[in-house]
């Protein structure tokens, strides 16, 4: 991604060991400055550096609309997790991370975090309902947690499309680009990078960042190889490398387990590159150090402007922006109402899980349709029930085959003897040997039916016992699901109450700048000596930048800013908990299948064995 790949870093072992120690230093600094609300954004950026240093490698997928960024990610995941919609392209940056519990965390602009099921991904990204629009207006970003081995070493970011117009430089979040360890710049085969993209890529190049160019759709473009060669000649100096892939082939290959299609997708090259990036710890250590030096310059600027501001007016403006604006708070309240409404709908659906279940078939269908009913004990019951149904089907088929054969032979016998097969005694006829042979075969079929009927009875006993044991367990699974939904609402209301308390703290700490003075001392006494250590993998120009920035920070005098009078806040924030009265409104529909509900009541009787007598 960057020219760091080509820059030798000495003391590799030290560089690898230094990162945890450096993160500890940054945590301490963050704990100091986070107390001051005036540098909140700067503290947020420092915390992001800390998180990124601890997190897995992050790979950012960038490109204009309809180049297949989302499909590319789905191909890596082997599942159609992220929604692909030409009418509603990806509208929020989505971090795909590893998680044992598959779910979505929605991070809103005001700091609220709401947890959703994967089924709500459309609501949060491409849905066009009123609730979707309200939620997306307040969204900062999403985190999607999936149980996928690839995500154990990397986090993949499916980004919003590049914005550009009139030949100007394409716009994309610089802060997000600075956070990641690698950038995949996606083009579609046959569609060259536009001028606006090139201006942005050139800007990255000037910062030492070289994306990997991923050309998607090589399966759709017959001249894909020629196109890739052309783009390499045109923009190869801006990219670290080029890889051609077919996201569609990769996704279909994973879904169909097609090795041939997977090879055609060329995803092995892409995944190998991802692993190389994830394993390059030296590069990450140096990148984190450089990001901190850039952060120090930002912090210096923040400290410089603080003495020039009226602390009281700035604090009041901040508080009024957060809670004094009635329209802003009303909008937040509507957002929270929309979240709770979605929870209520989910609760209703879960409460009615077994409402329409009256037969064994309906129960099996219901289990298959709801992930929260999937459990090893339930799977064991499902196997027993399906086995019973299979035994029953086989018996019906055998019985039907026997009846068809019997009716055909009985008709022939009537035609010759004037009597059916079940009459007691028949006269002589040249065809009697034929009938005897056919009756013997019918009796063999009858014995097969008897044996299969015994299997049905045995499977039925097992199924009835299993359903008696499983029904209470299924009800418990539904209760657990309903309880989790209630906990989500409780957590949302707790967050609202927390916001209320936080607002009061803003007023109490309005003029507390002492923490920033403490931060100056910590940088001088601890961070600077740590970074100036000769074992640090910094170049001479980096060290010169560090010394200059630290001296500028220490030169800023904040000691005369003292504490001013605490503000009296006009707190209009809606603090009432959002009600979630669903237990009486949506009572749990119980599951109480009886024996006659699940047993087949029309099992054909076992046919009798034929005994046919003829005159000698």
Residue 42 C-beta-side C-alpha neighbours within 13 Å: 23
99 within 8 A of 146, measured Cβ to Cβ: yes
State how far the Cα of 229 lies from the Cα of 85, in Å rounded to an integer.
30
Q: How far is CA 117 from CA 146, 158, 467, 482, in A?
A: 11, 19, 29, 13
Between helices 360-369 and 376-417, what is the axis angle to 10°?
140
- Which residue matches tokens 């010169």? 544
Closest C-alpha among 157, 161, 179 to residue 170? 161
Identify the bridge partners of residue 191 per DSSP, sorted by sequence position. Answer: 188
Q: What is the mean pLDDT of residues 483-508?
A: 81
271 within 8 A of 92, measured Cβ to Cβ: no
pLDDT of 343 above 90:
yes
pLDDT at 317: 60
229 within 8 A of 22, measured Cβ to Cβ: no
Residue 459 C-beta-side C-alpha neighbours within 13 Å: 23
Residue 568: pLDDT band by 50, 70, 90 thresholds?
Answer: very low
Residue 167: pLDDT band by 50, 70, 90 thresholds?
Answer: low
Residue 265: burial class (beta carbons within 10 Å; 0-12, 13-18, 19+): buried
**What is the average pLDDT value for the chain, to the nearest integer?**
83
pLDDT at 41: 87
Closest C-alpha among 227, 223, 254 to residue 242? 227
Q: What is the DSSP letter of 79?
A: S
- What DSSP assignment string belongs to 102-117? -EEEEEETTS-EEEE-
Backbone angles phi, psi at 92, to 5 degrees: -150, 140
Q: What is the mean pLDDT of residues 485-512?
A: 77
Closest C-alpha among 141, 145, 136 to residue 106? 141
pLDDT digit string, tens, across residues 26-42: 999 999 998 887 788 89
Q: How far is CA 76 from CA 73, 82, 262, in A?
A: 5, 11, 11
Q: How far is CA 324 from CA 506, 574, 608, in A?
A: 13, 11, 88
Say which range, 35-44, 61-70, 445-454, 511-520, has the weakest mean pLDDT. Answer: 511-520
pLDDT of 387 above 90:
yes
pLDDT digit string, tens, across residues 136-164: 888 888 999 999 999 988 999 988 877 65
Write out 11-31 in H/E/C secondary structure: CHHHHHHHHHHHHHHHHHHHH
**Parallel, antiparallel or unpaired: strands 212-216 and 241-245:** parallel
pLDDT of 122 above 90:
no
pLDDT at 312: 45
Percent of the chain with pLDDT over 90: 41
Work out the number of other CB atoms within 10 angstroms of the CB of residue 226. 12
Q: What is the DSSP letter of 456?
A: H
Backbone angles phi, psi at 249, to 5 degrees: -60, -40
pLDDT at 315: 56
pLDDT at 506: 60
**Cα dihedral across residues 373, 376, 381, 384: positive or negative:** positive
State how far the Cα of 1 lies from the Cα of 284, in Å rounded to an integer.
11
Backbone angles phi, psi at 98, to 5 degrees: -80, 140
State how far the Cα of 452 lies from the Cα of 550, in Å rounded to an integer.
86
306 within 8 A of 30, measured Cβ to Cβ: no
Q: What is the mean pLDDT of residues 177-185?
A: 85
State how far the Cα of 270 lies from the Cα of 222, in Å rounded to an integer.
21
Residue 596: burial class (beta carbons within 10 Å; 0-12, 13-18, 19+): exposed
104 within 8 A of 115, measured Cβ to Cβ: yes
Residue 599 C-beta-side C-alpha neighbours within 13 Å: 16
pLDDT at 486: 95
Contacts of 557 (CB under 8 A, 6+ apart): 307
State how far the Cα of 195 lies from the Cα of 189, in Å rounded to an integer.
17
Q: What is the mean pLDDT of residues 332-358?
A: 92
State how far the Cα of 475 lies from the Cα of 479, in Å rounded to an integer.
6
Percent of the chain with pLDDT over 70: 84
568 within 8 A of 313, measured Cβ to Cβ: no
State how far the Cα of 542 lies from the Cα of 294, in Å rounded to an integer.
10
Q: Which run of H or E residues covers position 252?
A: helix 247-256
pLDDT at 15: 47
571 within 8 A of 330, measured Cβ to Cβ: no
Residue 399: burial class (beta carbons within 10 Å; 0-12, 13-18, 19+): buried
Looking at per-residue pLDDT, the higher value among 342 and 421 belongs to 342
State how far the Cα of 268 lies from the Cα of 61, in Å rounded to an integer.
17
pLDDT digit string, tens, across residues 7-29: 334 434 344 568 888 889 999 99
Residue 52 C-beta-side C-alpha neighbours within 13 Å: 26
- What DSSP assignment string belongs to 136-196? HHHEEEEEEEE--GGGGTEEEEEPPPPB--TTPPPB--HHHHHH-SEEEEEEETTBPPPHH
Number of alpha helices (DSSP H) and beta strands (DSSP E) in the chain: 21, 11
Closest C-alpha among 287, 204, 269, 215 to residue 238? 204
State how far the Cα of 245 lies from the Cα of 291, in Å rounded to an integer.
32
């Amino acid at each position: 991604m960057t020219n760091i790949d080509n820059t030798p870093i000495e003391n590799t072992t030290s560089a690898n060991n230094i990162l945890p120690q450096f993160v500890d230093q940054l945590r301490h600094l963050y704990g100091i400055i986070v107390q001051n609300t005036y540098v909140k954004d700067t503290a947020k950026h420092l915390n992001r550096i800390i998180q990124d240093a601890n997190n897995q490698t992050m790979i950012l997928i960038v490109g204009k609309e309809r180049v297949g960024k989302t499909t590319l990610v789905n191909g890596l995941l082997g599942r159609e997790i992220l929604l692909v919609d030409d009418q509603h392209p990806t509208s929020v940056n989505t971090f795909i991370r590893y998680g044992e519990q598959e779910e979505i965390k929605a991070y809103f602009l005001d700091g609220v975090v709401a947890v959703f099921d994967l089924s709500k991904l459309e609501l949060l990204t491409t849905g066009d309902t009123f609730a979707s629009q309200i939620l997306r207006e307040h969204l900062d970003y999403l985190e999607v947690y999936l149980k996928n081995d690839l995500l154990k070493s990397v986090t993949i970011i499916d980004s919003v499309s590049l914005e550009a117009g009139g030949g100007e430089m394409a716009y994309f979040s610089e802060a997000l680009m600075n956070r990641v360890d690698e950038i995949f710049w996606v083009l579609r085969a046959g569609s060259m990078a536009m001028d606006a993209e090139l201006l942005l890529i050139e800007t990255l190049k000037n910062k030492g960042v070289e994306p990997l160019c991923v050309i998607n759709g090589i399966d759709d473009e017959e001249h894909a190889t020629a196109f890739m060669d052309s783009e390499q000649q045109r923009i190869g100096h801006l990219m670290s490398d080029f890889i051609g892939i077919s996201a569609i082939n990769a996704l279909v290959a994973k879904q169909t387990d097609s090795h041939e299609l997977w090879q055609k997708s060329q995803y092995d090259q892409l995944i190998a590159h991802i692993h190389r990036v994830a394993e390059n710890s030296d590069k990450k250590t140096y990148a984190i150090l450089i990001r901190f030096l850039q952060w120090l310059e930002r912090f210096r600027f923040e400290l410089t402007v603080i003495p020039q501001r009226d602390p009281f007016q700035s604090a009041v403006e901040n508080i009024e922006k957060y809670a004094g604006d009635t329209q802003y708070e009303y909008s937040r309240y509507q957002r929270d109402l929309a979240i709770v409404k979605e929870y209520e709908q989910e609760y209703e659906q879960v409460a009615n899980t077994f409402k329409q279940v009256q037969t064994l078939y309906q129960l099996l269908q219901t289990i298959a349709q709801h992930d929260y009913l999937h459990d090893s004990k339930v799977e064991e019951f499902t196997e027993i029930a399906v086995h019973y149904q299979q035994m029953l089907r086989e018996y019906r088929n055998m019985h039907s085959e026997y009846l068809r054969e019997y009716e055909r032979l009985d008709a022939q016998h009537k035609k010759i003897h004037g009597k059916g097969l079940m009459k007691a005694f028949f006269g002589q006829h040249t065809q009697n040997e034929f009938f005897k042979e056919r009756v013997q075969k019918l009796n063999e079929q009858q014995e097969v039916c008897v044996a299969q009927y015994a299997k049905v009875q045995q499977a039925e006993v097992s199924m009835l016992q299993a359903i008696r044991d499983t029904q209470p367990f299924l009800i418990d699974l539904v209760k657990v699901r309903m309880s989790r939904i209630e906990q989500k609402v409780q957590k949302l209301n707790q967050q609202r109450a927390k916001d209320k308390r936080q607002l009061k703290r803003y007023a109490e700490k309005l003029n507390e700048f002492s923490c920033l003075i403490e931060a100056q001392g910590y940088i001088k006494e601890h961070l600077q000596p740590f970074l100036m250590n000769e074992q640090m993998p910094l170049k001479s120009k980096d060290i010169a930048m560090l010394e200059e920035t630290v001296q500028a920070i220490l030169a800023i005098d904040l000691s005369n800013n003292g504490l001013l009078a605490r503000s009296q806040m006009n707190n209009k924030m809606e603090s009432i908990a959002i009600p979630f009265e669903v237990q009486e409104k949506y009572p749990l529909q119980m599951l109480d299948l009886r024996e006659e509900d699940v047993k087949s009541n029309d099992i054909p009787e076992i046919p009798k064995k034929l005994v046919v007598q003829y005159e000698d």
